[in-house]
Amino acid sequence: MRVASSLKTLKKRDKNCRVIRRRGRVYVINSKNKRMKARQG
């Protein structure tokens, strides 16, 4: 999982990436490619 201050570029890495809020944190997850994960902050 990558930790980034901004998820804008990480969201564009793949067309299946989605931005989701969980427990006050913002995540980018991808159901097709599990390696494309990121967290903000």
- The string of pLDDT tens digits covering residues 5-40 is 999 999 999 999 999 999 999 999 999 999 999 999
Residue 4 has a pLDDT of 94
Residue of 31, 25, 22, 28 whose CA lies nearest to 8: 28
7 phi/psi in degrees, rounded to 5: -100, 5
- Annotated domain spans of the chain: 2-40
pLDDT (0 to 100) of residue 26: 96
> Who has greater pLDDT, 28 or 41?
28
Extended strands (E) in 1-41: 2-4, 17-22, 25-30, 38-40
Predicted local distance difference test score (pLDDT) of residue 41: 85
Q: What is the pLDDT of residue 27?
A: 97
